[in-house]
Chain A
Amino acid sequence: MSLSSIARLAGAAALVGMSAFAVQAQTSGEPIKIGAIVSATGAGAGLGIPERNGMLLAEKTINAKGGINGRPIKLIVEDDASNPDTALSKANDLLFSQKVVGLIGPSLTASTVAIGGVTHANKFPQIAFTGIGPAVEKERKCLAHVLPPQKLNAQALLEYARSIKATKVGVLHDAGYGNVVMAEIRPLADSYGVKLVAVEKFEVGATDTTTQAAKVKAAQPDALFIIATSATPFRNVKQLQMAQPVVAAIGSSSYEYVNAMGPGADNVVIPEFVVGEDPLPHQKAFVDLYKQTYNSTPKNFEAAGWDAVHVMAQAIGKAGPNATPQAICDAMRGPYSGVLANFNFSADDMTGIPLSSFVFSKLVNGKYTRTPFRIAQ
C-alpha cells in the first residue's frame, strides 16, 4: 500500500468518525489482534489487493463504532506473495508469535490448504476466501469461507442459461479455474435442460483462443459460457463475430479484465454479487464508504474482505473476551447477512451462500449494469 493511499484511508476514517457516525464511540484497552493473510503480490494479487482494501476499511469502521465490546481490533495483514510456503510461515508467525485470536484468508486455495496443518491442528477460527471442497469441509468446522464454492458458480451460470431458454450451450474455459467450474457444470447440465454442444479448453494465460472459439462457433450453440481469469477469450469471440449471448463466470468480473476486453465486453452477463455502479439497498452503505475512501468502485472481493472481518469480529464479540479458539469457532457458525451474500456458516459447505444472493450484471459499453434477473430462493 502506498503512502498516499494510507493517508487517504486515514482521512476517510477520520471522515467516518466525524460524519457517518457523528458520535464516535470510544475504544479502550488492549487491541484484539486478528491476523490476515492475503496475496498482495504475485499471481493472486488481483484477489488479494481488493480483499485487503475491504478488510482495512472494515477494521476502521468497526473501531469507529466502538470495536468489540469497547476494545479496538487490530488487523495484522501479511502478504503470502501467492506462495503457499510463505503463507505457512506467515500463519505460524501470526498464530504463535503475534498471538492473534482469529485468522482471515488466505486468498488462494493452495495457500489455504498449506496452512491447514497449523490452523486445523489448533482448531483455530479461520475465515478463508475460497472453499477447499466438500471432503475437507466435512472435517474442518473452524474453517469458514466467504466466496462461493465452484458448484454454486456453476449453478448460477446454468440458471441464467435456463432463464434465456438456451438449451445448446458452448463453453470456452481455461485449464485452471475454468476446469474446476467446468467439472461442476457437467453433472448439473442435464437437470437444467442444457446440452453442452462444444467444450473447448485453453491454457491459463493463453494469448489467443480464436481456434477454440471457432470450434465452439461451428457447433452453433444458443449461448456461450466463458470461464476464465483473462480477457482474451472475450475478445476472440467478438473478433469471430459470434452473436450468441455470452455468460461469464465470476472469475472474469474484475475491472482489470473488463477493461482489457475492449469491444469484447459488450453484453457479457456475469453472475456475481456486488455491482458497485448500482448496489442493492443493503450494499449501498458499504459501496458509498468504499468509494469515499479509495476513490474507486468496489466489487466482490472488496465486499468479501469487508464481510470476513465483520464475521470474525462478531464471533469474537459473541464468544467473549477470554474465549478459547473452539468457542470462537462455535460462535462463528450461524447465519450472517453480509454485503456480499446471506451467509450461513453452519451449512455443510461452511459458507451457506444461497443462489438467491447472486445478482446478474451486464456489461454495456464497458460499464456494469445490474439486470433485474434474480434466482428465487
Chain B
Amino acid sequence: MTLSLVLQAVFAGVTNGMVYALVGMGLAAIFKGSRVINAMQGEFSVIGAMTTVLLLTKAGWPYPAAIAGGALAGALVGAFIEVAFVRYMAKKNASEDSFLLLTIGLALTLSASILFFVGRDGHLLPPLGGEGVLIVLDAVIQFHALWLIAIGIGATLLLRAFFHRTTVGLSMMAASIDADGAATTGINVARMRTFTFVLGGVLGAAGGILVTPLIGVDYQLGLNLTLKGFAAAVLGGLTNPLGAAVGGLTLGLVESLAIIGISSSYKDVVAFSVLIVIMILMPQGILGRAGRRGG
C-alpha cells in the first residue's frame, strides 16, 4: 500500500462522503422539522439533476440558470409533497410509519415517472472547473470534486447557522420539538413544516446536481442515494443535520479505506461492520447528544 494509494482513497472517500452528507443533511433536516423519515430524499437529487440536465440540453438554458432551475424544482417538489400529502396526514395524526410508507410510495412513483417521461438513459452534466484535475503525489482529484467538497462544507455551515441564528430556523426547530408549545407562541407550525420540506428538497437537489458530473444520473439513482444518505444521517445522529455531514464523511472514508486496506471483495463487509461498531458504542449517533440540544 503506497502513500499515493491512501491519498487516492481519501480523495474518493471525502468526495463520496460529501455526497452522502448532502443527502443525509436533507433527510435529517426534514426529520428534525417534521419527524418524517423521508425515504424519497434521493429522488429530490434525481429531480434536481434531471431538471438541470433537461433545462441545459433540451431548453438550452445557460448552466448557472439550469442549476438554479434544478434547485428550484427540488424546492417545489418538496413543498408540494408537504402541502399535498404530509399536511393532510399530519392533521389526521398519522404515525411515523405511515409517513415512512408514504415517502417509500412516492419514491417508487417518482422513479417510475422519470423512467416514463425521461427514459432509461443516464445523463451527465458538465463538471464545474472543466475536466481539469489536481494531482498530488500521483493521486488524482477532479476540480469538480474539489468544488463539490467546498460547496458541501459551505452548505453544512450555512445550515448550522440557519438553525441557530435565524428566526425561521429557530421556529422550525421549536415547531418540531413541541408543536403545541410553538403554536401558542405564534409559530405557524404547518408553514414551518413546509419550509423543512423545501429545505430538504433544495439540499437533495444540490447533492444530485453536484454528483451528476461525476457519476451521472438516471431514474434508478435515487434509492441508492437515499440508502447511503440515511446511513450517513443515522450514523451522525438523525436529529442533527450537522451529524449527517460527519456521518457521511465517516461512511465515505471507511468505504474507500476498506478497499485498499483489505480487499474490494470485502468492502461492504468491512464498511458496515465498522458502522455497526459505531452504532453499538454510540447509539445516538456520533453527534447524537449535540442533536438533542438542537445541533
Contact = CB atoms under 8 A, between A and B. Distances in A.
A211 B216 contact: no
B171 interface: no
Interface in B2-28: 2, 4-5, 8-9, 11-13, 15-16
Nearest to A46: B120
A358 B115 CA distance: 33
Interface in B127-183: 131, 133, 139-140, 142
Interface residues of A, number: 27
A207 B2 CA distance: 24
Interface stretch (B87-95, B187-195, B217-225): B217-225
Contact of A239 (B122, B124, B140): B140
Interface stretch (B234-242, B256-264, B287-295): B256-264
A208 B260 CA distance: 14
Q: Would you call the interface of chain B mostly helix, strand, loop, or mixed? A: helix
B16 A208 contact: yes
Given A207-B224, A208-B16, A262 B124 contact: yes
A211 B224 contact: no
Interface string A175-218: 00000000000000000000000001111010110111011001
B215 interface: yes
Contact of B121 (A208, A218, A259): A259
A49 to B, nearest CB: 8
Given A211-B256, A241-B140, A260-B122, A235 B216 contact: yes
A232 B215 CA distance: 6
A292 B8 CA distance: 48
Contacts of B131: 263
Interface residues of B, number: 36
Contacts of A259: 121-122
Interface of A is mostly: helix
Contact of B123 (A214, A235, A260): A260
A343 B285 CA distance: 59
B184 interface: no
B185 interface: no
A56 interface: no
B214 interface: yes
Contacts of A215: 5, 259-260, 264
Interface string B246-271: 00000000001001100011011000
Contacts of A46: 120
Contacts of A202: 264, 267
A45 B2 contact: no
Given A211-B259, A260-B124, A200 B215 contact: no
Contact of A203 (B4, B133, B221, B268): B268
A16 interface: no
Given A205-B224, A207-B221, A235 B215 contact: yes
A243 interface: no
B121 A256 contact: yes
B139 A214 contact: yes
B12 A211 contact: yes
Nearest to A212: B264
Interface string B199-218: 00000000000010011101
Nearest to B13: A211
A240 B4 CA distance: 12
B139 A256 contact: no
B265 A214 contact: no
A101 interface: no
Interface in B90-122: 120-122
Interface string A226-254: 00000110010001110000000000000
A218 B264 contact: no
Contact of A260 (B4, B8, B121, B260): B121
A260 B219 CA distance: 13
B5 A214 contact: yes
A231 B267 CA distance: 20
A269 to B, nearest CB: 21
Nearest to B221: A207
Contacts of B220: 205
A207 B215 CA distance: 6
Contacts of B224: 205, 207
A260 B256 CA distance: 23
A231 B122 contact: yes
Contact of B12 (A201, A205, A208): A208
Contacts of B139: 214
A209 to B, nearest CB: 9
B8 A210 contact: yes
A215 B260 CA distance: 7
A201 B265 contact: yes
A283 B225 CA distance: 42
A241 B264 CA distance: 21
A9 to B, nearest CB: 19
A200 B5 CA distance: 14
Contact of B218 (A208, A239, A260): A260
Contact of B5 (A218, A257, A263): A218
A46 B218 CA distance: 13
B12 A256 contact: no
Given A201-B264, A260-B218, A211 B9 contact: yes
16 contacts: A45-B120, A201-B264, A205-B220, A207-B221, A208-B16, A208-B214, A211-B256, A211-B264, A215-B5, A231-B122, A231-B216, A235-B215, A256-B121, A257-B122, A260-B121, A260-B124
Interface of B: 2, 4-5, 8-9, 11-13, 15-16, 120-124, 131, 133, 139-140, 142, 211, 214-216, 218, 220-221, 224-225, 256, 259-260, 264-265, 267-268
Given A232-B216, A256-B120, A260-B124, 20 more contacts: A200-B259, A200-B264, A202-B264, A205-B224, A210-B15, A211-B9, A211-B13, A211-B264, A214-B260, A215-B264, A232-B215, A235-B214, A235-B216, A239-B133, A239-B140, A239-B214, A241-B133, A241-B140, A257-B122, A262-B216
Interface of A: 45-46, 200-203, 205, 207-208, 210-212, 214-215, 218, 231-232, 235, 239-241, 256-257, 259-260, 262-263
